[in-house]
């Protein structure tokens, strides 16, 4: 690792001249490059040592683990819905007049989104100030005998969030686990006020294990002695593992009653996030907020109703209470970009959901189909459905794509999570953990999976799928045309055909519509009365799309 002064020199900057983008560029040097990641996967060491290393970084930054107790943390893990649960929880407690901190990952448009005060990403000035303070502190305290002088990207941001929350004197911090739980770097927290587990599923198998039970063991690693923990209903095997983990650590674990139980005797609860699957996230958030308020002797926590014991794996049922107006308004006002989000732009409707596991994609499909029916407007003319998809890491793209088949898309579009072919001038979107060749080959594999699935299901039709990156292949019988673009911008240009009133890209390259299928598809999209576009498979893809469709998010 180069010294901070040499890093600044390479950027032709003086410390006093560093703006937020300079800080983000330097932060990006802490990303693990693609070749090193492969080496780490082959030679993974003791994960407990990773947690101990995080505590050393915390000490070098000027804090002790005990200092984190002052943050009154709510620690939340899970496979799907943990970010939404965090967002609901934070919004509810902010409605009580509390000053909230919120640490989440990944970011969609700007890295500052990961660290929020009162629901808002920290300002560029605050980010820059704390970044350089922490960066220089870690540089000054590095051990000359150590080969690793700086924490990796996510660790650095976790440390930075703790420093900011302490300096800003938040009343509480909602902290989302990065990956897993037991060995996640957020798990240096020793005394959270409450812990939560959202729905479990299969994800990050190379790190967490390849069964739900193994993954549940990792997630239950955030349980702490005497700290109340809450879980939504899980399959029997993982739920049993969570119960065992709780017993081992003397952690009181409660099963969340369904949202319907809290609605009895009052008006139905309105959620700011669409989709039936958000109801379990909201139920968990209500329990976490209710517990935090009780632990801190706050008034107005909601009248507890008569509760029945749970018979599921001998877990006690969390209290059934009447949600207060603060809680109701918090659920209603929650916003969480890129999750079941809808943008309506003239003839185009964009449906954005960063689902990337089998269970979350199933929920996404249900939401998308319901949204199509719910918002159906009488139109004369053709309606076109477009899928924009990418998947990264060790996800089973073929399985995810198979789940998306029932949506009956007219076009399936694949592209890497790159806004432009070159993202050098956009530090927030830079990713050094993969190479361009790797991501383009992955997109071509996604296209091939889709084509095979389509061929299995479709009735014979003339024409077939094509790739803009491959020579045309012999025609087969397919019901969907598929295309691969080299970046998000080109994909959106082809899909929108200049009809989105906000998205105004530079003139597309001549080759963009050169292929016959791209050209004929462009004509269809230009003439369509309505275009419904589902963007899913990756939160990073959704973030890149949002950056282009909502320029205000970059300000």
For residues 233 and 230, give the distance between their C-alpha atoms in angstroms, rounded to a whole number: 10
User: Does the residue 8 lie in any domain?
Assistant: no
Q: Are residues 276 and 384 in the same domain?
A: no
Asked if residue 328 belongs to a known ligand binding site, the reply is no
Q: Are residues 271 and 368 in the same domain?
A: no
> How many structural domains comprise the chain?
2
Asked if residue 204 belongs to a known ligand binding site, the reply is yes
Asked if residue 353 belongs to a known ligand binding site, the reply is yes
The mean pLDDT value for 173-200 works out to 96
Q: Are residues 71 and 158 in the same domain?
A: yes
Q: What is the 3-state secondary structure (H, E, C) of 8-48?
A: HHHCCCCHHHCCHHHHHHHHHCCCCCHHHHHHHHHCCCCHH
Q: Are residues 326 and 356 in the same domain?
A: no
Angle at 548 between CA 543 and CA 550, to 5 degrees: 85
Residues paired with 73 in a beta bridge: 173
pLDDT in tens, 309-350: 555 667 999 999 999 999 999 999 999 999 999 999 999 999
For residues 61 and 133, give the distance between their C-alpha atoms in angstroms, rounded to a whole number: 9
The mean pLDDT value for 238-246 works out to 97
Q: Is the previous residue joined to 106 through a cis bond, with omega within 30 degrees of 0?
A: yes
Q: Are residues 160 and 251 in the same domain?
A: yes
DSSP state of 180: S
Lookup: tokens for 424: 């050098």
- The secondary element (H helix, E strand) that includes residue 523 is helix 516-527
pLDDT at 375: 72
Of 316, 333, 350, the domain-final residue: 333
Q: How confident is the model at residue 44 (pLDDT cuts 50, 70, 90)?
A: low
pLDDT in tens, 96-107: 999 999 999 999
pLDDT at 9 exceeding the cut of 60? no
Q: Are residues 134 and 64 in the same domain?
A: yes
Please indicate whether residue 457 or residue 290 has the higher confidence score (pLDDT).
290
Helix (H/G/I), strand (E/B), else coil: 129 = helix
pLDDT at 430: 67
pLDDT at 290: 97
For residues 212 and 237, give the distance between their C-alpha atoms in angstroms, rounded to a whole number: 7
The mean pLDDT value for 50-55 works out to 91
pLDDT at 142: 85
pLDDT at 459 exceeding the cut of 60? no
Could you tell me what percent of the chain has a pLDDT over 70? 83
Q: Are residues 532 and 516 in the same domain?
A: yes
For residues 268 and 263, give the distance between their C-alpha atoms in angstroms, rounded to a whole number: 6
Which domain range does residue 329 map to?
46-333
The mean pLDDT value for 111-124 works out to 97
pTM of the model: 0.87
User: What CATH number should be reported for the domain holding residue 515?
Assistant: 3.90.190.20
DSSP state of 74: E
Asked if residue 428 belongs to a known ligand binding site, the reply is no
Asked if residue 176 belongs to a known ligand binding site, the reply is yes
| Among 5-9, 34-38, 80-84, 429-433, the least confident range | 5-9
| Among 217-231, 263-277, 475-489, the least confident range | 475-489
Please indicate whether residue 297 or residue 125 has the higher confidence score (pLDDT).
125
Q: Are residues 195 and 81 in the same domain?
A: yes
pLDDT at 540 exceeding the cut of 60? yes
**196 CB-near residues (< 8 Å, 6+ apart):** 74, 75, 76, 77, 78, 82, 85, 89, 229, 230, 231, 284, 285, 287, 288
| Among 29-38, 52-61, 175-184, 197-206, the least confident range | 29-38
Could you tell me what percent of the chain has a pLDDT over 90? 70
The mean pLDDT value for 434-445 works out to 88
Residues paired with 261 in a beta bridge: none
């Amino acid at each position: 690792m180069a010294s901070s002064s040499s890093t600044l020199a390479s950027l032709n900057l003086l410390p006093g001249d560093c703006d937020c983008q300079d800080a983000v560029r330097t932060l990006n040097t802490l990303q693990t490059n693609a070749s090193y990641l492969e080496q780490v996967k082959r030679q993974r060491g003791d994960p407990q040592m990773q947690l101990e290393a995080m505590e050393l970084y915390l000490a070098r930054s000027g804090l002790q683990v005990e200092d984190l107790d002052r943050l009154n943390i709510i620690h939340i893990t899970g496979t799907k819905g943990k970010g939404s649960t965090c967002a609901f929880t934070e919004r509810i407690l902010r409605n009580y007049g509390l000053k909230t901190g919120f640490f989440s990952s990944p970011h969609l448009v700007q890295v500052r989104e990961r660290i929020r005060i009162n629901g808002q990403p920290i300002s560029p000035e605050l980010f820059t100030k704390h970044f350089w303070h922490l960066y220089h502190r870690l540089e000054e305290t590095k051990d000359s005998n150590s080969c690793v002088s700086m924490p990796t990207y996510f660790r650095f941001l976790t440390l930075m969030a703790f420093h900011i929350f302490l300096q800003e004197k938040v009343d509480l911090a909602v902290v989302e686990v990065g990956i897993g739980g037991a060995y996640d770097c957020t798990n240096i927290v020793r005394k959270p006020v409450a812990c939560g587990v959202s729905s479990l599923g299969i994800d990050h198998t190379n790190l967490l294990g390849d069964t739900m039970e193994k993954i549940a063991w990792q997630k239950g690693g955030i349980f702490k002695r005497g700290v109340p923990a809450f879980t939504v209903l899980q399959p029997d095997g993982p739920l049993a593992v969570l119960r065992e983990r709780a017993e081992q650590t003397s952690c009181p674990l409660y099963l969340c009653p369904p949202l319907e139980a809290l609605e009895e005797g009052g008006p139905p609860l309105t959620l700011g996030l669409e989709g039936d699957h958000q109801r379990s996230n909201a139920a968990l958030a209500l329990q976490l907020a209710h517990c935090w308020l009780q632990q801190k002797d706050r008034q107005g926590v909601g009248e507890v109703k008569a509760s029945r014991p749970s018979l599921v794996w001998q877990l006690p049922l969390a209290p059934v209470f009447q949600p207060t107006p603060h809680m109701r308004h918090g659920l209603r006002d929650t916003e969480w970009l890129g999750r079941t989000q809808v943008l309506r732009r003239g003839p185009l409707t964009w449906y954005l959901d960063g689902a990337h596991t089998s269970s979350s994609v199933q929920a996404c499909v249900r939401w998308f189909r319901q949204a199509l029916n719910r918002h159906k407007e009488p139109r004369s003319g053709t309606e076109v459905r477009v899928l924009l998809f990418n998947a990264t890491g060790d996800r089973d793209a073929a399985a995810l794509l198979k789940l998306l088949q029932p949506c009956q898309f007219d076009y399936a579009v694949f592209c890497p999570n790159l806004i432009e072919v070159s993202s050098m001038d956009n530090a927030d979107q830079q990713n050094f953990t993969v190479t361009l060749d790797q991501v383009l080959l992955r997109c071509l594999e996604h296209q091939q999976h889709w084509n095979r699935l389509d061929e299995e299901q479709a009735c014979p039709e003339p024409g077939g799928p094509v790739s803009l990156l491959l020579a045309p292949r012999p025609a087969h019988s397919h019901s969907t045309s598929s295309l691969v673009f080299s970046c998000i911008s080109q994909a959106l240009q082809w899909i929108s055909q200049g009809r989105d009133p906000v998205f105004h890209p530079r003139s597309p390259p001549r080759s963009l519509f050169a292929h016959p299928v791209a050209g004929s598809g462009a004509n269809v999209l230009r003439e369509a009365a309505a275009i419904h576009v589902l963007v899913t498979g990756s939160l990073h893809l959704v973030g890149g799309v949002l950056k282009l469709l909502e320029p205000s998010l970059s300000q």
